[in-house]
Structure formats: C-alpha cells, structure tokens
Structure 1
Amino acid sequence: MLLRRFGSRSGRFGGPAMFMLLLLAVLWPGQAAAWWNDQWSLRKKITIDTAQSGAVVSDPIGTTPILVRLHIGNFKFSAAKDDGGDLRFIAADDKTPLKHHVEKFDSLLGEALVWVSVPDLKPGTKNDIWLYFGNAKAPAAVDAKGTYDPDTLLVYHFNDRGTPAQDVTAWANSAQNVGTAADGSIIGQGARLDGQSALMLPGSPSLVVAEAGELTWSVWLKMTAPQPRAVLYSRVEGSNGLTIGLDNGVPFAEVANSGTTQRSGEGAAIAPGTWHHLALVAKAGQITLYLDGNPFSTLAAALPTMTGVAQLGQASAAAAAGAVDSSSGTPAADATGAGAATSGATGFAGDIDEFEIAKVARPAGFIKVAAIGQGPDHAKLISFSMDEETSGWFSGGYFGVILRSVTLDGWVVIGLLAIMAVISWYVMVDRISYLNRAGRGNLLFLKHFREQATDLDGLLQLDREEAGEGDSIGPKFSAKERKTVHAAPLYRLFGAGAAEIRRRFAGGGRRMLSSHAIESVRAMLDSAYVQETQRLNRLMVMLTIAISGGPFLGLLGTVVGVMITFAAIAASGDVNVNAIAPGIAAALVATVAGLGVAIPSLFAYNYLTIRIKDMTSEMQVFVDELITRIAESYDSRPDEPMKQAAE
C-alpha cells in the first residue's frame, strides 16, 4: 500500500526519494504471523531443528517433551514475571497453546529450565514454536502432568531438596525415600548415589510390567569411577528381573526370565566424570540399549512379568543373596540362575539426573532428541530468534533487538558520540550558512566595486557611508543590500584598506601615497586577510575531531561490548550462535555510531575546505586588485619628486 501510494509520485520526488522508500520497505520491521494474544508484549520463535543443519534426526519422533533452557543470552528476564508465570508456549500456527511446566526459574541469576510438550515433532526438518512473555498480570499456567503423555509413568527432575524425588507425571509415582541432592547437574539439580544406599521406587500398579511387555527407561548419569557390575537400576522378583548398570564403565542390561539369564553384549566403556544419556527400549522380544541417543547394544530377550518395587543405585537384596521368592521372601534355589547372574554386584556411585520410565517403546528418534536436547549439545537442536514486540518503532525487527541488547557501557559511548554528532552538525550548518552569506556579499560588493573602477575616491566615500560617516557620491545600498554586503569578507578587507588610506589623508594636502605607504597598506590588508581566513576556518577543528575521534570512540565501545558478551556467555556456560549474536550485534552499534559521526563530518569537511579555499583565493585576488587600484590612483609621480616633497 505504501509503495502504491508513493509510486505515482515518483516524478515529483525523483530517484533519491524512491531509493529511500525502497530501503524503508526492506528495513521496516514486520510481524511474521498474527499475534496470539495482545496482552503479551513480547515473543520469540524457538526452532527445533532435526534436519542436517541441526541435530540430524531421521527416525520417527512423535510427541515429546523438549527442554527449553533460558539464560541472559537468549531471554530478557527483566521483561518477564519473577517466577516465569507469564511464559506461554504456542504451536507454529500461533494459535494452539502447548503444555509446559517450569523446573527452575531464577530471574536474578538469569537461568530457567522449562519443559514443553511439542506434539508430533517431525524428523529431518525445522519445527517452530513460539514463546510469549511480558504480561505482568498473567496467571501461572504450568501443567506438569499435561506436559507428558499418559504412557509416561514416571519422571524425576530431582529438583527437590530434603524430600523424596517427586514424580511430575499424572501417575504420582514419587520415590519412597529421600536421596542426596547433587548441585550443578546436567539439568539443574540432580541426585547423588553413593553405592551403599538405594533410592526406592514405588511398587504401584501403574509400574507393573507384563510379560513380554513394552518399556522405555532412561537416565542421565555420571559415574565417579569404573566399578565391576555397578548396578544402576534393579527390579528382581524371584527368578525374574531386570538389571541395568555399568561393568567397569561399559553399559549393560541383564534380563532374568524363569531361570534364564541373558545379558547384552559388550561395548566401549564411558569415561568417569562425564555425563551420558543411557536408555533402554524393550519391544517384541528385543531389548535395545542406547548411549547418548545412539544404539549401543541389543539383546534378544523379552521382559518378564514384574510387579514389585525397584531401586536406583544398588542391587536388590534378591540379587545379592541369590534370588528371592517374591511371595515368601525366602531365598530361591541358585539353580534358577538369577542369583548367579547378579552375584558380586555393587551399587552405582555417581550422579544421576532426569530419570524417566514409560510403558511403551519409544522410537529411536524420541531417544535421540532427548539425548541431544537435554545434553551439552542442545544448541544443535534448539535455537532462538530475536525478540518481537506487539508495538513500537522497531517491533519485531532486527534493530529493536540490537538496541535492546546494548549494554550500559555501550549507551555511554553512544551518548558521547551523539554529543559529538550534535556539535559536528552544528559546525556544518554554521559554516555552510556563513559561507553562503559571505559568497552573496562578495558578489554584491564586487559588483559595486567594479562599477566604480575609475573612481576610487567614490569607493572610499561609499565605505564612509556604510560606516555612517556621511553621504555617498556613489550608488547607495538598500537596507537589504547593506546587510548582505556587511557579511562579505571582501567588504571588510576593503574597509580595512580604506580606513588606512583615510588615516593617511586625514591631514589634508595632496592625496598621494609613496611606495612605502602603499606597502604599509598592503601589510594592513594582509593582516585583515589573515583575520578573515581565521574567521572562515572557525570551528573547523571540531570536524577533524569528529572524523578522527568518532571511529576510535565507537571501536572502544565495540571492544568493551564484545568483552562483556563473552564474559556473560562464559558465566552462563551456553556457547552457541544465538547466545553470542545479539551481544555482538549490539556491541557493533557503537562502531556504527562512530562511523555515523565521522562519515558526514568527513564529507562536510572536504566540501567546506574546498569552499574556504576558493574564498581565500578570491580574497587574495581582491587584495592584489585593490593594491593595484590604490597604486594607480594615489601613487606619487616619478617625475615630480621635489614638488611632492615640498608639498
């Protein structure tokens, strides 16, 4: 509409106006989609990239909870509520709200962990959702139970301190005893297992595993040191059981079913002190063990029926003693093989985090998304766009994001550059207007000066009239012309010379000047010429300061801004382009501001220098012309030296 409105006027405005119009159309910020709710002032797009440019997930995924990590590099905590209660996640259609819950939200430290249920996540493509915030009146809308589908039976974030780990799903399968908290885990707070005590899980009906049933089990772990047969998860009942652990750092899964024990194959050991995602998926007589989202080993076995309790961090009593009958609690015969298989087991020593159990077999893409999205490589999967606003000059545009990211030191530098810009523009306007007035005055004065080329006495009388000393015998100036002439440097030069001549003729007598007197008049004109040159160059030094100092001052602001950006990234521990880019872009604003001061000043300085040079050349020519006229009119005759001396 804007282009059509002005397109018909292209003839009036010309090429420059059309260029500015096109530039405005390109840079003018716009909203990518309709706003979900105008009560929320800010939003940002979150891209979940499963394509080759991101996490590279080609297997089916389905509906999955995604961990969204917010920090000062990708989120404006000052614009959100202190508890994150105004956070809203909307699907790509910008209409459908998504279930979410907050594991951690610390506006003071600038850290947040939010779980969002993303429906039907597609592999091999970019999936977008929207994060809305900036509504101080919004009520909290967290829904931990709705974040997970009904097939998810248990999820421990381990963000509880002093209480048993709470299950955030709808099944309420919370732990039976209090564990030891571990700060600084891979996702907020975790749990610490010492190898001596176990974290007991409930024996609820929802956790019952039917014979040959499906199961998905996953956890993040960091072992302290390699141990032989370190049991991480154990659920043993009589001659049946499932054990998951690490044998000298090598993940394994062991299934005992009616006296037959099977164990997964060997593989590479993991390094101690490092976080890894371990998952087990059982379906149709096949058990697959995943490490960091990739298949690690397989086992051709079906799960037995399991109805009792399970535990984390230690082998069950049945496993340690041999096998235990689930109904009587007495040791079963070692001939079953269950006790022999698990004998010599030790408890796992290390940290764990984000423990999950589901009653279905999750697809491989689901496991890989969890391993990448929750781990240290989460930036491959999730990226954040710049903030968009509902209204404002730069709503939703790049410039608004850049300016909002400028730090205090950057604004200080930009403020100094703004002062420098005001001064430089004042000098430009002042000098150009002065040169324009001086040029018009010179033209008018030269016109009258040359009209009386043979009557220098008349010109001297003209100068007296302009000074208010008497009547003129030459052409009179109007009030407007008098004001114009008074602004002429040539008029002031002529006035200086005329005053010197009148001073020499003040005693009366013959109106003649010797060669020495003429040289004295020239010296007086040269002095006036220097004064006029200084007047022309007044304040020009401010432009040179803006030209040379503006870029360096802007560079200083950029360097400091980049330093602060990298310091903030180091403090947050999240190194990705989306965290770095806004800070770097904001830091470069200072350099742009410095160039914005220097470039106009440079053009104006060169333009003014040429005009001042032309005017000084004009004054030099006039001084020579005036001296010649004075010599022609008042120089003493060479053939009358005695007569002149007598007079």
Structure 2
Amino acid sequence: MKRPTRFWFKNALLALVALAGLPGVAHAWWNGEWTLRKKLTVDTTPSGAAVADPMGGAPVLVRLHVGNFQFDRARGDGGDIRFVSEDDRTVLPHHIAQYDSLLGEAFVWVRVPEIKTGAQTAVWLYYANPAAPSVENAQGTFDADTTLAWHFGERGQPARDYSGNENHALNAGIPAEGTLIGAGLRFDGNSAVTVPATPSLAWAANAPLTWSAWVKPASLSGRSVIYSRRAGPQTAFLVGSDQGVPFVEITVGGNTVRTPAGAPLAQNIWQHLAVVAEGARLTLYVNGNTYAALSSGIPVLNTPSFLGGDRAAPDAPVTSGFAGELVEFQLARAARPAGFIKFLAATQGGESGARSVLFSEEEVSGGGAGAGGHAGYFTVIIQNLTVDGWVVIVVLAVMSAISLAVMAAKNGYLSAVRKGNERFLKLFNERVASDMTVLDRAGPALAVTEAEERLIKRAPLYRLYHIGAEEIRKRLSESKRSEDKTLSAHAIKAITASMDGGRVREQQRLNKQMVLLTIAISGGPFLGLLGTVIGVMITFAAVALAGDVNVNAIAPGIAAALLATVAGLAVAIPALFGYNYLLTRVKDVTADMQVFVDEFITKAAEFYPKRASEKARLTGADS
C-alpha cells in the first residue's frame, strides 16, 4: 500500500531531529518517574574554566533560573532534584544552598567525583517528580578535608556549616541580597561574624590549609582585615587588604611577615581570594591566579576567628574592619592544588561560571521507568503539524532554496564583474592614448592571458567600451577622407545614446532574478502567517469537537501552527539581508558604468575633434 506524502515528510524530519537535536539518545533514562532532565557540561577547556592542572573531584555550583529550569514542574523546595553521573546510573551527592521558586532562582551544589582537566565532564540533572522525597547530602557534597562551608542563605540567622562538622557561626551578620551567589553578608567596618573554636578547626604549626571566599570591597582605603585569628599579640593569621592591595599576614613569636604587594583589588567588583598553606610555604590567589607567595607556614591556633575585621577576642572591639560584601566562605585542612583553586574561581563566578557550567536542551521522558523513549520540543511540534502546515513549510523550503541559490549565484557573478571591471579599467587607462578602438581590434589586442581575456570580455565596462568603439569605427569609416579622423557633434550624441542603451541593458542583467529575493522577503512571512492561522483554526475546531478544553489539548497544536510563521521568517530574514547586500553591490557597478560612459565620451571628443567648418558654423551660431 502506498503511503501518503505527509508520512514520509514527517518521518524524514523526525529522523533529522533525532540525529541533530536530541543529545544523549544513546543513554538510558535513569528513572522514568522523573519526566525532565538536562545535560550539564563542566567545561575546563580554554573556552570554559581553562584548567590544565589535575584536580580530581570538586563541588560544582549549579545556578538555576527560569531560563534553564522549569520551577513550576519541580517540587516547591527543589527536593526532587537529582544529579546522575555521565554513565546515567550513579547518583551524585548534592545539596541546595538557596531555592526560591517564586523568584525563579536556585543555587545547588553537586559533588563531581572526577573532573577532567582541559576537557568536558557531563552530568545529568533530573527533576519534575513532585512525589519524590528529598535526598540532599550536604556532607557528601564536600570531601573529608573540608572543615567549614558557609553559603549565607540563612538571611538574618547565623550561617550554617554545610561541611558536616557543625562549625556554625556564633552570631548573625548583616544580610546582603543579590550577591554573586544569592544571599551573602554585608560588612560596615564595625561588625564581625565569629567562627567557633572547635577540634576540627584547630591548626597545627605548618599544617596544610586552604582558605577561600568571594569579596566585593566597597572601599580600598586604609587597612581592611577580612579574616583574623589570634592567640594573643604573639600569634596571628590575617587575610585582608592595605590600600586595596590584598595580603596574608602571619605572626609567630611576635615576628610578623606579610606577602609581597601587587596590584590592588577592584572596588565594587566581586573577586575570589584564596590562601593555600603547605608546610613552610603560603600562596595567595586572586581570581584563581597566583598573586603572591610567602616562606612561612600557619601558626598553632585553636581560638575563635572572625570574618569582617580584626579582633583579639569575641568581646573585643573590631579594628581594621572590612567594608563590603562577602559570600561563599570555606576552610579545608588540605593544601588544594592550583588547578582546584582556579576551578573554584571560574565555575563560581558570574560570566565565567556561565561559560564553565553549560546547560543543554531539556529532554522529556517518554513514559515508564527504565524506558529510554523521550522527545524534544521540536519532535512534539513536528508530530502535531497539520496537512496545511506541511504544505506551507514545503513551499517555504522551496522558496528558501531558490533565494539561497540566487544569492550565491548573484554574489559570484558580481565578484567576477568587479574583477573584470578593475582589470579592464587598468588596461584602458594604460593603453588608450590616441586611438579609442585599440582594445577592440581583432587579434591579441588585449595582450593578456586567455583566462584574463575571458574575464575582461564578460565585464560590463568592456561591453560598453565595445559598443562605443564600434560606433567610432562606423563613424570614421563614413568619412570621405581617410586622414580626416574627426567626429561631429551629432556623432558624439549618437555614440552617447548607444552607450546609454547598452548601460541600461547591463543594469537589467545585473538586476536579473533579484525579484525572486523580493518575493521571498515579502511573501515568506505572509505564507507562514497563513499556515499559522489555518493551524490555529484547525486546533480550536478539534478541541471544540472533542469537548476537552485544557492546555495539554491546545498547546501542541498551537506550537505546531506557529512553526509555519517561524519558517516564513527563516525564509525572509536571510533573503532581506542578502538582497540589501547585493543591491549595494549592483549600485556600485551601475555607478562605475555611468562614470565610464562619461569618461569615454569625453576622451572621444578630445581624440576626434570636430571639423573646422563645423566649428566655425557653431562658433557663428553662438555669436
């Protein structure tokens, strides 16, 4: 039985979509109870985080917003979010730092056990299962060396430690909304947040340590301490800035050393600071790059520490306070490698994070658990196209193919015309001295290669020249005396008229088939609109007959109908740009032809002067 044409069109387009528009089809669906998923790509190539040093695993910040996540399809608190490794089987630990479904914003951390350096690592994000229980694992998100991780999403409450070590802040700071990573803290130079003294935060001499935070200084003047930890006046560890220049300052036995000065921080700009201590060496990083080094390790400290200023004790006043905002404060009892620090700065930043953690197109589950059937948006649209929609899209596809062919052919023709005109003008200016017909004689008059001769003889300027040269030879052959090489005023006018006629014909040749582009520009959107209107009419008629009025019944048909309008615009927009570009080139060639005709006539009048009798007659008539 012969199948209808619509069947073959539909299946051909579905095959193309399956090949080009549905990433990850080879992966089985992790769990059919989750109906939506996205593929996240952690990119450490030069176009992403640009990390070339080995770093192992790391917690990755995933920023969700209405542009990459459907909050209305997930649980109100994001509890149905799951992260699955690239094999689409292993569930990864994660936790939600901040989640606001009303504002459409969330910050989620996921532990990626092995991040490829200089390459891309894929992770699947599953959601859209409101019945799923929450399985957040904050402690599993960080490794065992992380001793403190504050996200500051508590808004007015003491910061909670997500590392699992219960190192919560002892007092609440001033909340700051809309920081680099959601809510953070704001410091006014007179306040500080106390970090408790616990066994997990005890430091031994020259022990490994990694300190990191994002800061946004409101002022660069004076001495500003961001973090301080002291054990009396003889022992201290400080991180801060002096006149905007970041530093790490170590005091052991009353002897104070500080990292060398470099470029200052930028005011009112978020910057990542990190300090890595390993043995008797300490390195300060700014935005993931090495800033300064110090030949000193950390001192023995087991006292409370402070964010926002220098304090000798919890009840002592704040000195050298920090003015600005701070978010994402972490401590670890390990010396993180340079690649790890650079990865944190790149993936947690605003613009750099968008380049480093990439979201693919959303995929929809096709049904039951374990089933791999799923389709993208374009598949749903194509499956719901009506017959009239297919007809309009096929017509538009033909129009698009014709307009693209015209633009390509016309652009190539105009390029050949430009080259031929330039080459001919050069010969005309070099060789035409006393005989205007020298380049139009039989034989090797042009004295160029065969390829150049073919190029020149197809040029409009040469064809105009040929017309003028033919007219000159004709007028000179009619002269009674062979030595009388003169042209009358009537002859000059006749030559001008012949060349003007040739110029008009050349303009017609240049504009040939341009009307097809104007048809695509004006007709494409209207054809698309016609297909959309008919498709919407059919959709509403089908809903009325079925008596089922709901979004699921209407939306697929409307979306499919709108595809015709999109196709119409896809035909018209390239044709519009191409038409205007080609029209500009045609106008340039037309102007060159007008200038050449004027130049040719002027030279002809100079090379073949009027007869003396005619001059006398014209002179008498003028007097």
Matched, 1:172 2:159: no
Preserved contact between residue 554 and residue 595 of structure 1 (Cα < 8 Å): no
Task: Give the whole-Å Cα distance in 2 for the aligned partners of 1:305 and 1:86.
Answer: 44
Preserved contact between residue 420 and residue 597 of structure 1 (Cα < 8 Å): no
Cα deviation for residue 318 of structure 1 reads: 7.3
Q: Which amino acid aligns with 2:99?
A: F
Cα deviation for residue 395 of structure 1 reads: 2.7
User: Among 7, 27, 49, which residue is 1:55 paired with?
Assistant: 49
Structural mapping, 1:447-462, within 5 Å: none
Please, what TM-score do these two structures have when normalized by structure 1?
0.57
Structural mapping, 1:160-559, within 5 Å: 160-238=154-232, 239-317=234-312, 346-376=320-350, 377-391=352-366, 395-397=374-376, 399-400=378-379, 549-551=526-528
Give ranges in structure 1 of 5+ residues lacking alignment. Answer: 1-8, 323-343, 405-413, 426-544, 557-584, 599-647
Preserved contact between residue 216 and residue 269 of structure 2 (Cα < 8 Å): yes
Cα deviation for residue 394 of structure 1 reads: 8.8
Match of 2:588 in 1: none
Structural mapping, 1:110-125, within 5 Å: 110-125=104-119
Q: Percent identity?
A: 45
Once the two structures are superposed, residues 453-508 of structure 1 have per-residue CA deviations (whole angstroms, 9 ceiling, x without a partner) of: xxxxxxxxxxxxxxxxxxxxxxxxxxxxxxxxxxxxxxxxxxxxxxxxxxxxxxxx
Q: Aligned pair in 2 of structure 1 residues 586, 262: CA closer, same or farther (>3 Å)? A: farther
Task: Give the whole-Å Cα distance in 2 for the aligned partners of 1:177 and 1:321.
Answer: 14
Cα deviation for residue 89 of structure 1 reads: 0.2
Aligned residues: 409
Match of 1:540 in 2: none
Q: Which amino acid aligns with 2:527?
A: G
Give ranges in structure 2 of 5+ residues lacking alignment. Answer: 394-521, 534-558, 573-623
Task: Give the whole-Å Cα distance in 1 for the aligned partners of 2:88 and 2:390.
Answer: 44
Preserved contact between residue 197 and residue 313 of structure 1 (Cα < 8 Å): yes
Preserved contact between residue 281 and residue 362 of structure 1 (Cα < 8 Å): yes
Task: Give the whole-Å Cα distance in 2 for the aligned partners of 1:44 and 1:109.
Answer: 21
Match of 2:17 in 1: 27
Q: Which amino acid aligns with 2:292?
A: S
Task: Give the whole-Å Cα distance in 2 for the aligned partners of 1:20 and 1:73.
Answer: 29
* Root-mean-square deviation over aligned CA pairs: 3.9
Task: Give the whole-Å Cα distance in 2 for the aligned partners of 1:424 and 1:104.
Answer: 47
Q: Aligned pair in 2 of structure 1 residues 552, 321: CA closer, same or farther (>3 Å)? A: closer
Counterpart of 1:109 in 2: which secondary structure?
coil
Q: Which amino acid aligns with 1:309?
A: P
Counterpart of 2:346 in 1: which secondary structure?
helix
Preserved contact between residue 161 and residue 167 of structure 2 (Cα < 8 Å): yes
Counterpart of 1:78 in 2: which secondary structure?
helix
Match of 2:122 in 1: 128
Q: Aligned pair in 2 of structure 1 residues 403, 108: CA closer, same or farther (>3 Å)? A: farther
Counterpart of 1:28 in 2: which secondary structure?
helix
Matched, 1:89 2:91: no
Q: Aligned pair in 2 of structure 1 residues 188, 400: CA closer, same or farther (>3 Å)? A: farther
Match of 1:616 in 2: none
Task: Give the whole-Å Cα distance in 2 for the aligned partners of 1:320 and 1:263.
Answer: 27
Once the two structures are superposed, residues 416-442 of structure 1 have per-residue CA deviations (whole angstroms, 9 ceiling, x without a partner) of: xx79859999xxxxxxxxxxxxxxxxx
User: Among 72, 81, 85, which residue is 1:78 paired with?
Assistant: 72
Task: Give the whole-Å Cα distance in 2 for the aligned partners of 1:67 and 1:587.
Answer: 39
Matched, 1:139 2:133: yes
Preserved contact between residue 250 and residue 296 of structure 2 (Cα < 8 Å): yes
Preserved contact between residue 546 and residue 597 of structure 1 (Cα < 8 Å): no
Once the two structures are superposed, residues 197-223 of structure 1 have per-residue CA deviations (whole angstroms, 9 ceiling, x without a partner) of: 211110111100111101000011111
Counterpart of 2:113 in 1: which secondary structure?
strand
Q: Which amino acid aligns with 2:129?
A: N
Cα deviation for residue 119 of structure 1 reads: 0.6
Match of 1:539 in 2: none
Q: Aligned pair in 2 of structure 1 residues 400, 217: CA closer, same or farther (>3 Å)? A: farther
> Radius of gyration: which is bigger?
1
Q: Which amino acid aligns with 1:39?
A: E
Q: Which amino acid aligns with 2:107?
A: L
Cα deviation for residue 593 of structure 1 reads: 4.7
Preserved contact between residue 64 and residue 117 of structure 1 (Cα < 8 Å): yes
Task: Give the whole-Å Cα distance in 1 for the aligned partners of 2:570 and 2:341.
Answer: 52
Cα deviation for residue 112 of structure 1 reads: 1.2
Once the two structures are superposed, residues 399-418 of structure 1 have per-residue CA deviations (whole angstroms, 9 ceiling, x without a partner) of: 148899xxxxxxxxx99xx7
Match of 2:506 in 1: none
Once the two structures are superposed, residues 580-603 of structure 1 have per-residue CA deviations (whole angstroms, 9 ceiling, x without a partner) of: xxxxx99994533547999xxxxx
Once the two structures are superposed, residues 299-320 of structure 1 have per-residue CA deviations (whole angstroms, 9 ceiling, x without a partner) of: 1111111111111111123799
Preserved contact between residue 554 and residue 593 of structure 1 (Cα < 8 Å): no
Task: Give the whole-Å Cα distance in 1 for the aligned partners of 2:382 and 2:299.
Answer: 61
Q: Aligned pair in 2 of structure 1 residues 295, 586: CA closer, same or farther (>3 Å)? A: farther
Match of 2:100 in 1: 106
Task: Give the whole-Å Cα distance in 1 for the aligned partners of 2:382 and 2:361.
Answer: 11
Cα deviation for residue 81 of structure 1 reads: 1.5
**More displaced 10-residue stretch of structure 1: 295-304 or 15-24:** 15-24
Please, what TM-score do these two structures have when normalized by structure 2?
0.60
